[in-house]
Amino acid sequence: MNNEQTESSVHLLDTPIGKLALRMQDGVLLKIDFLAQPLRPASKNKQQFQKLTNQLQQYFKNPQTDFNIKSDERGTVFQRRVWQALRCIPVGETRTYGQIAKQLSSSPRAVGGACRANPLPIITPCHRVTAANGTGGFAGARQGKLLEIKEWLLEHEAG
């Protein structure tokens, strides 16, 4: 068994909601970050990002796009259960934190925490989870650019 770890690569993608930093290792998607500016130089190995880049660009043209990319969502058992529930929310629909919590026999706060920890926003659509009385937060923010991104994604998917 080879215990040697390969270094992850980062690719920056310009989108209608700003730059996304896509992090992959050995062709497996690890994380998507919303960026105001690049944190480090982009990967020179753009080929491994081509399939993901194409799917994300297609999503921004047509939100009905299905993502078919190998990923590794590292999280707790509970977080992975929440993320699986999020992937079952149809495009153009939302669920409240409370609805997801009831489905998983949990609490809305715990669901919010799992949404906040989601390493693959857009692909695992945490933006489709809202508060009972409004939009709610996004990626830990209750105002500002991240909340604007959530609102843009919801409007984009609503058609």
pLDDT in tens, 91-144: 999 999 999 999 999 999 999 999 999 999 999 999 999 999 999 999 888 889
For residue 89, pLDDT over 90 is answered with: yes
Given CATH 1.10.760.10, say whether it is the number of domain 77-158: no
Task: For tokens 């960026």, name the residue.
Answer: 35
What does the pLDDT read at residue 135? 92
Give the three-class secondary structure for 71.
strand
Residue 70 CB-density burial (10 A; 0-12 exposed, 13-18 middle, 19+ buried): exposed
What does the pLDDT read at residue 159? 81
Helices (H) and strands (E) in the chain, counts: 5, 5
What residues are labeled active site?
126
In this structure, the chain runs to a length of: 159
User: What are the boundaries of each domain within the chain?
Assistant: 9-61, 77-158
Could you tell me the pLDDT band of residue 7, with boundaries at 50, 70 and 90?
Answer: confident
Per-residue pLDDT of 10-67, as tens digits, reads 888 999 999 999 999 988 999 999 986 555 555 566 777 899 999 999 999 999 999 9
What does the pLDDT read at residue 75? 95
